[in-house]
Each structure stands twice: as C-alpha cells, then as structure tokens.
Amino acid sequence: MASHYQKPHAIMIPYPYQGHITPFVYLAIKLASHGFTITFVNTHYIHSKISNSQTQQNYQHNKDDLFAKARENGLDIRYATVNDGFPLGFDRSLNHDQFVEGLLHVFSAHFDEVVGNLVKSDPPVTCLIADTFYVWPLMIAEKYNLVYVSFWTEPALVLTLYYHMELLKKNGHFACQDNRKDSIDYIPGVEAIEPRDLMSYLQATDIWTVVHRVIYKAFTDIKKADMIICNTVQELEFDTLSALNKKQPTYAIGPIFPSGLTKAPFSISLWSESDCSQWLNNKPNTSVLYVSFGSYAHTSKEDILEIAHGLQLSGVNFIWVLRPDIVSSDETDFLPVGFEESIKDRGLIVPWCRQIEVISHPAIGGFLTHCGWNSTLESIWCGIPLICFPLLTDQFTNRKLVVNDWKIGINLCDNARVTHEEVAEKVSNFMCGDTTQELRKAMKEVRKTLENALGQDGSSQKNFQQFMEDIKVNIRKRAGLSNGHVSPLHQNGNGLAH
C-alpha cells in the first residue's frame, strides 16, 4: 500500500478555454516527468476542437489522445473526456451566458461521474488539481477524500483582488451604487491600484451576471483549498504572494512552459494553425508587428475598423491573427473593403497561428496584444515589447503590470475609444522610434527574472519541488498515514522559496 502513496495520482481539469488549457497541459507533463500519475480530463467539446484542428494539420498521431506521445516517452499521463452538458454543435461563444450557466449548475454532475469511475484506478486517485474558476472542486475533493489543489492560471495580483472582493465592497470600490474612483490602497500585498486597473468584472455595474456568480462561488471555494498554485514568478509579485501565503499555502511555479518553448511537443490548439515562417523569413529583423487579441475575447467591429485603418496608415509590416469570431460568431465580415489588397505586400492576415513560433522569429519587433496572461509571459520569454489593448477580464490588470510596474509595454490608446490616427502614430513610433530601446532594456531584465526563476536554484523550481513534497504530505494526512509526524513547514505550507 505504501508504494501507492509514493506515486501520487492527480486528476487535472482545466477551464474549457485555450488560455487555461495550455498551462494545464504543460503542468501535467511537468508533474508526470517528476513521477506523478496524471489523469487529464478535457470536455468532449474541447477534445473535438483539438482533434479537428490536428486533423487539418495532419497531427494524426495525437488525434484521439493528446498524451499518446508523452506516454511513449515513459510518462504516466492518462486521458479522459467529460460531457459539459451541451451538444457538440452548440455555439458556446455565441451563447456564452447559457454555456456558463451550464458550467455553474450542470457540469459538476458529469465530472462527479468521471471521478467516481477514476478513483478505482491503479494507482488510486489521491489529488484533484482543478482550475480556480470551477465552482465544485471542494465538493468533489471532499466526497472522494482527495487533496484539493486550486490552479490559478493568471497573475497573483488578479488572484488577490478577487480573493479580497469583500474588502473592495466594504470600502465602496465594488458592488456599490456609485463605485469610488480613488486609489485602492488597502488590499494586502498590493501597494496601490486604480479602479480602472481592476478586472472588468470588478468594474461592472451589473454584478449579478452569470460570470459574477461563478466568481463569487469559485472564490468562496478556493479559500478551502489545501494549496494554491500560481502561473507567475515570485520575484515579479513578491509582496502579493507573501500576503496570500499568510492566508493559505500559495506556490508561484511559473512560467509554466514546455522545455524548449519554441517547439511544443504537440499541438493543443483549438484552431488550425497557419504557418507564417515563410512569410517572416523574407522580412528584416525586428521589422514586423505581431497583432493578436487571443483565443476568447471579442471586440467591436468599430474597433477592428479603426485598428485596420491605423495599421494601413502606419506603413509597418504586420501579421494579424484575426479569429473569424473576433466580433461575434454571426458577424464574420468586419474588415474595411479592399483592406487585404491594400496591405498585401507588408501585411499577413491569418485566422490562427503558432504564436510562440511567430514571436520567437527574429523578424518580429513588437506585439500588439489584448494582454492575456499566456501571451504576456510568452512575449517576455521571447523579449518582445508590447502594445497593450486590453478587452476584458484580467487583461486590464495585466496591462497595469506590463505598462506601469514592469515598463515593458505601452498603451495603444490613451482615451476611451481607439482611433486610427492614434493607432498609426503609436504603432509607427513603437516600431521605429527611440522608446522601444527603453522597453527592450526593461524587457531584458524581466526576461532574466523568468529565466532565473526556472533555473536549478530558482524560486519557481524550488517552489515546484516544495509543492510536490507538500502534496505528498497532504495525501498521507488524508490517508491517515502521517501519525502526526508532519513538520510545521509542511503543515503551514510555504509557497516562498527558502
């Protein structure tokens, strides 16, 4: 029996969006390469999206099992799928609120059934690593006597703001008739933050949307997790992480990348990826602006038109990743008439691409981004300065870190509305002016911080080791094997390296 506890078996389930799936997959591989058994669970819908995109790109090897290759390399990663409560053909983007209602009320019953079957496996399941945004992990973990790890895929600053929603409410900065507009200086571990830099859901006037209800429940749940892991770096958010650690064990183990980042072991994209390398090979070093607003956020047709005109006027080379549903699933004709013809020699428009391969190409000189957290970390790793155009959720808060705190990017627009004149001026100055040198210098420093954190004696590496140790201790405690001999360090947990 003891041998079972030497090999922990974790069920991992990401939130069903690309930005959450990516770090979950890489964490699964990392844990499995350190001796864990992993059962990775995707929804049927996400599985079919990945399978379809792989079929289109001839990734036949992994079509039915993302981790087939990993197992061939000796890693014990199993793969399972679960029904999210909706038919495959249901448009989850167009019917977003209905879909999230399903995640809130129905999905747990489907997942419970999957876990009920998996707990009989060998070695037995001992741990649940679930995305923080799910509302049921505590209930499932308690039912099956599993160690509950909440995996937060965004920066610690965003985590702590949600964690302290009650303080924001009490002080009148959130959920009030007329929210205060002055600086917020009372959140533990956060020096000060302006209301405009809060996540969009904490700036909203309607605070009972389905997403708000998910957030309220998820952030009640997380406070009872055995441990929290964060896809961030201790040195970049030291005070915030220290304050969180006083509440419960929190481990900064990011950035969670595959080894040899620029060549991922397999595709986990929900869309077929265009190969941009030939086009980039014909462009001078640092001459191309990469433009992408991520896998999930939507924007207005007006904004797309202004950005398109601005890119046209700027005279800069660019690759623009433009998802067909960037405006909405039922409006796919949103570019200015004749735009593609007018920019054909210096602009490339693709529906999706292998972002890491693009931004690590020497031709790329900047990234116009929505400030998704994965995009931010990948840009830092590749040393690419950012032009920030946040659209929703954590992106406004990530923008604050990028522009105000780390000084590795600029804002695309300084006013409420984006205009083509401002886009043209900002893009042109950013790609050809002096400011970029300052940004690159700052970027080198931040990049070094990431690199050091992942090094052998780095904070993320030490925290990851400590996290694995503490999981094992928690598993033994759950199984009643600890006999009270748990060190104070393990009892308290400690996400800060010693």
Q: Which residues pair with 193 in a beta bridge?
A: 184
Q: Which CATH number describes the domain made up of 276-451? A: 3.40.50.2000
pTM of this prediction exceeds 0.85: yes
**Distance, CA of 429 to CA of 425 (rounded, Å):** 6
Q: Which CATH class is domain 9-260+456-479?
A: alpha beta
In three-state secondary structure terms, 389 is coil
- Taken as a whole, the chain contains a residue count of 498
**DSSP string across 32-65:** HTTT-EEEEEEEHHHHHHHHHHHHHTT-GGGSS-
Spatial contact of 22 and 374, defined as CB atoms under 8 Å apart: yes
H/E stretch holding 128 reads strand 127-131
**Which residue in this structure is represented by tokens 């770090």?**
23
Pairing verdict, β 77-82 and 127-131: unpaired
Q: What is the mean pLDDT of each run of 10 residues along the chain (498 residues)?
A: 66 96 95 96 95 68 76 93 96 94 97 95 94 97 97 98 98 93 97 97 96 98 98 98 98 87 64 92 96 91 95 96 85 85 92 93 97 97 97 97 98 91 96 87 97 96 97 92 41 44
Enter the tokens of residue 15.
Answer: 């939130």
C-alpha dihedral (258, 262, 266, 272), degrees to nearest 10: 130
**Distance, CA of 19 to CA of 236 (rounded, Å):** 20
CA of 383: how far to CAs of 23, 145, 176, 443, in Å? Answer: 20, 44, 41, 6
Q: Do domains 9-260+456-479 and 276-451 have the same CATH topology?
A: yes
What pLDDT is stored for residue 436 in this prediction?
A: 84
What pLDDT is stored for residue 56 in this prediction?
A: 60
Per domain, the residue ranges of the chain are: 9-260+456-479, 276-451
What pLDDT is stored for residue 3 in this prediction?
A: 43
Spatial contact of 288 and 365, defined as CB atoms under 8 Å apart: yes
**Distance, CA of 483 to CA of 478 (rounded, Å):** 11
**Distance, CA of 384 to CA of 361 (rounded, Å):** 10
Closest by CA position to 155, among listed 219, 88, 258, 230: 230
